[in-house]
Chains A and B, each alone.
Chain A
Amino acid sequence: MIHGKIKNAVVIGAGISGLATAKNLTRKGISCRVYDRNSKLGGVWADGYHGFGVQIPKDLYEFPDFPLPDEVPHYTPGPEFQKYMEEYCDHFGIRDCLQLGTRVTALRRSGDGWTLEVEDESGSNIVQTDLVVIATGLYSETPQMPEIEGQDQFQGDILHNSQVKDIEMLRGRRVAVVGYGKSAGDIAGAAIGVADKVYLVFRSTHWPVPRKLLGLLPFKWGMLTRLVAAMIPPYVRSTPVTRALHTVGYPLPWLFWRVVEMLLRIQQKLGTRIANGDTLIPVHPIDYDAYSEVTMVPRPGFIESISAGEISAHRSGLRRFTENELILEDGDTLSVDCVVFGTGWKTGFGFLPKDLRIALGEEPDGIYLYRHILHPDAPNLAFVGRASSFMSVTTFSLQARWLSEVVARNVTLPSKGDMLAAIASLRHWKQSWMPDGAARSATLLLHMTHYHDELLLDMGADPLRKTGILAPLKELFVPYQASDFRDVI
């Protein structure tokens, strides 16, 4: 909900979503300031663990209106992506908006707008603005580190993966990496041949998405087409006809996903025996597991390293630490001197005042918003980047464009009642079938095409992006990529 004429805006966060927002708002003649606590722009790409990088191909993960240079590798390394964001900033002339090394410490309502307290090296300042855009992403700056009994007496190091800036930190050590997501896999894989011993400990496994299906077909062809989008549960507020078709036709997607599971089991050798006779086969079906917070695109050779015993995998929870051991729930004892938690980050918006979080209806699975961007009970406050998608840069760029069109009154929002009803539908839909998790409210993943369609229709743009005489065929069988959205961003 936007009240009054917006002349200036504060964007919190200078990552992908923050920069895209600044670009779009400045184009509408709105004066923008972008605050980021880091002294370097880029958000999650400003800095990272050893060898961090993008896990999906670059044609899916780039600004639609500013393609990555040809010389950049197909899977963009983190530092190169940060450099690319610097170039994006200069290309669109938004560098003057940036106020890096500045932390927002408080946010208060002031008339239709907001008063912010910001803190930098020189001290605290008060800033007035008409619009606040929160572009800090899904996760907070607080690492997700479980409290394990006895960790005070452990003589070794307990680290979060973000602290492993150089893999040499692990040289000659006996390391246990905890987790089964991308960062845990990356650290465990990089530690092979460096560390004396590498353990990987995880409670549950997830279906891995290989870079190439059957070693031939890039995963986007098998996962990110409209044909596959038709094989997943109907999107929120689907028509009765769609729901009926999905009910009667259910055996078809059921068979499709079982075949995908079978292929992944063979290709990724998920039947590999690990400690205690366990395997890497996930418990949940892929069409459910795909909506969990862990998306697993394993680094090449990761599963093979487990099969070869270079990584000793243990499917168990953690029970307690001793002075130099990690004792697992399955009774195994790992003799280690370093434990790295690849367990992600906590969610939440701790910097938002409590009354605002109440107005936003914050729940254990996050904040539900209209189009994942606005809440009618928090006027002149917007979120960009609160959506998990396989094409985050495109999704966030579309959100930023949508917001700028709303602010410029080119997109008319529905009534407050209708927006609240849409939010309630979204909440009910997600909570009725998606896996529970702290970021469920923002989960899109395989439904991202449906979400992109919504934003495009709101903006009066055609959601069918493919062109040419065979466009209808391409719509069905050819995956979308960032460049398909170039003329609407």
Chain B
Amino acid sequence: MSTYLLIGTAIGAVLGFLHMLSIFRARLGRPGLAPIKTVWQGIWTWFLWTLFGAYVLTFWILGAVFLGASKLLNRRQAAP
């Protein structure tokens, strides 16, 4: 369990970091947008991804399982 939490958190941290960079790229230097707000938004984004990384991973896995099952069922129903 702790390994799973660690993996999920690590994935969240990586995605969050990339998300933070994308926010910086889109907003920093743009007229009308406060740099402090951008940095604060970016840091929070990274933090939230890291905090909820394991939960997001869980829902992603559940989604992948149910989506796969749903596609399989639909294919079987569509088969003659």
Contact = CB atoms under 8 A, between A and B. Distances in A.
B45 A472 contact: yes
B73 to A, nearest CB: 13
A249 interface: yes
A457 B67 contact: no
Q: How large is the interface on A (under 10, 10 to 19, 20 to 34, 35 or more residues)?
A: 20 to 34
Most chain B C-beta atoms within 10 Å of own C-beta, residue among A459, A472, A476: A472
A256 B44 CA distance: 23
Interface in A450-464: 457, 459-462, 464
Contacts of A464: 37, 41
Nearest to B21: A241
Interface string B50-75: 00000010011111101100000000
A252 to B, nearest CB: 5
A424 interface: no
Contacts of B62: 251, 255
A460 B63 contact: no
Interface string B26-59: 0000111110010011011100100000001001
A310 interface: no
Given A462-B32, A462-B33, A254 B63 contact: yes
A396 B18 CA distance: 34
Given A460-B32, A472-B45, A258 B40 contact: no
B22 A255 contact: no
Most chain B C-beta atoms within 10 Å of own C-beta, residue among A253, A464, A476: A464
Interface string B12-32: 000000100010000000111
9 contacts: A249-B60, A251-B61, A256-B59, A258-B66, A459-B32, A471-B37, A473-B44, A473-B48, A476-B48
Interface of A: 239, 241, 249-256, 258, 457, 459-462, 464, 471-473, 475-476
Given A256-B59, A462-B37, 16 more contacts: A239-B22, A250-B67, A251-B61, A251-B67, A253-B63, A254-B66, A255-B63, A256-B63, A258-B66, A462-B33, A462-B34, A464-B37, A471-B37, A472-B43, A472-B45, A476-B48
